[in-house]
Chains A and B, each alone.
Chain A
């Protein structure tokens, strides 16, 4: 697909390691993904799987020392090749990001209003107009007393309200793509669903494309058109969300679904994926997931499986065709009671 809004190809990200940062360790390796205009893609993985780094790569938002190779093409422009000013305008107008912890990600010594209008004012909108626009945006994200809230400081607002403020600030510039880095992880469950509903509504109203990062596979699948699962810095499976929930191709996707407790089944112990998740640089030869996989065979440890097209998606598993249709999902009950 060449007409995708966002096309990430062979993205590899390394961070400095060892004494004086002489060595470089990969945290993301060979990631490909694409998002069409108005589409939503869920990116699911455990901590350290490289999903946040992948999202930051889309707007080249790296800490000093982080290096990335591969290409990120947004609306025909190569993001890694951009001049600083071009990149700044891309961040200001086209791509917006919302973060996991709004309390840390909003300057604590400035008012909520100052935070909200900052982007608009920096691109030439008058303070008065900017205030009017964000007040109506606040109403859209369910904050009716916007003008009062804008005079307050971030610590005077609850986490849920603050995340709504963050969302309002992200859509204030009318971007085409929204990167959401675990926007609901720091919130309690009821607030979570409210925030997700707001995101879904804004997306349909404004035709926003969304890259939604989460460790909650079912939340991603419920929100997004398609879902990609990351493990150890690589995408191991991608298919439409609907199909992923019923027919996972990768044992890891299946394992994530089985580990999630059902509301109507009493379990003494929750089923888990044995072992610890690993980072990209810890993966040796062979399939990175093989040491934890209940279906691994000697061949899995020998060579790294490539992401290959299967019916309705892509999967990186040597045994995908054999296991097709046999992997358990949470919906079918999964493990023992």
Chain B
């Protein structure tokens, strides 16, 4: 299969996934106990005006599928509905917070790749003491939850040493990065440890492979053997882990944004769920699904670039 066909096929598959996801996201509103009306009204006093407003806004008197397609058509036109709590279009609510979360996720991804791959490769190639230090560090990192680490980082580096701000998102690119450093570390540390372990194990097992012995027996420079035969082949399982980890980071921002009082999608999602602001929840969950599916697509493309044995037909992947 050629690249254009592959990409077209994958984009179509992506649309199908999104369609199914949107149906689930929308339908889950009706699975909440007490029915959508009481869910949407929540703890607010159920005045007749409010009930009428909610019923009209969500077309609660229409059949389910009709309501779903109306909502879907609105979404496709860029209208994600209005927030009940903020009394504002959902799209503008999300847009202002998307950048913070995106920056946080990208920052954490960079940290994960640098630290995870760096220590993993270092431990695998040097073994001995280096390997044991990295293994110990990874075990400690893996067993520290992000909210504990976040609190710890605030106490030490923000309150104690005063190197970083305690909370907030900052303004301007540099200031934002400075504000996001501690949150990104909190978000990245355990994933970096996981990646470090996976890459280290993968490299160690690849070093013992017969084809690496062949390469050594041919008198190729060690650096070349490591780069061309060990690292390339070892990267196949590592790509899987990186893909899943990045996709998971988006969900992980929920915790970290709350600890650091960042105004991003994660904290918005938590508040929206607590306040039963369902239009917001629907929009954010849909957005997370899109990110997840896109990351998976990128992983699949990377796979077939690294390992040409995997054809571009979806079956082999």
Contact = CB atoms under 8 A, between A and B. Distances in A.
A89 B220 CA distance: 9
Contact of B208 (A63, A88, A99): A63
A105 B219 contact: no
Interface of A: 59, 61, 63, 87-93, 96-97, 99, 101, 104-111, 118-119, 122, 153, 155, 169, 173
B63 interface: no
Given A89-B219, A104-B209, 4 more contacts: A91-B217, A92-B219, A92-B220, A105-B210
Contacts of B217: 59, 61, 91, 96-97
B218 A169 contact: yes
Contact of B306 (A87, A93, A107, A109): A109
Interface in B206-230: 208-211, 213-222, 224, 228-229
Contact of A107 (B208, B215, B224): B215
A111 B232 CA distance: 14
Q: How many B residues are at the interface, by size bracket?
A: 20 to 34
Nearest to A101: B210
Nearest to A93: B219
Contact of B218 (A63, A118, A153): A118
Contacts of B38: none
B309 interface: yes
Contact of B220 (A63, A90, A118): A118
B62 interface: no
A88 to B, nearest CB: 5
B160 interface: no
Given A153-B308, A153-B309, A106 B219 contact: no
Given A63-B208, A101-B210, A104-B211, A109 B216 contact: no
B308 A122 contact: no
Contacts of A63: 208
A169 B218 CA distance: 9
B211 A88 contact: no
B214 A105 contact: yes
Nearest to A156: B309
Contacts of B213: 61, 99, 105
Nearest to A84: B222
A96 B218 contact: yes
Contacts of A105: 210-211, 213-214
A122 B233 contact: no
A91 B233 contact: no
B307 interface: yes
Contacts of B209: 104
28 contacts: A59-B217, A61-B217, A87-B219, A92-B220, A96-B217, A97-B217, A99-B213, A99-B214, A104-B209, A104-B210, A105-B211, A106-B211, A107-B211, A107-B215, A107-B229, A108-B233, A109-B232, A109-B236, A109-B306, A109-B308, A119-B218, A119-B219, A119-B220, A122-B218, A122-B219, A122-B221, A122-B224, A173-B218
A118 B306 CA distance: 18
Contacts of B214: 97, 99, 105-107
A118 B214 CA distance: 11
A66 to B, nearest CB: 12
A99 B217 CA distance: 10
Interface in B22-48: none
B211 A90 contact: no
B210 A88 contact: no
Contacts of A104: 209-211
Interface string B85-128: 00000000000000000000000000000000000000000000
A169 to B, nearest CB: 7
Contact of A91 (B210, B211, B216, B306): B216
A92 B222 CA distance: 12
Nearest to B212: A107
Contacts of A91: 216-219
Nearest to B236: A109
B210 A109 contact: no
Contacts of A93: 219
Nearest to B211: A107
A239 to B, nearest CB: 29
A61 B214 CA distance: 10
Contact of B219 (A88, A110, A111, A155): A88
Nearest to A63: B208
The 6 closest A-B pairs by CB, nearest first: A92-B219, A91-B219, A104-B210, A107-B211, A105-B214, A105-B210
A96 B208 CA distance: 20
Nearest to A89: B219
A89 B306 CA distance: 30
Contacts of A169: 218
A107 B219 CA distance: 16
A89 B307 CA distance: 30
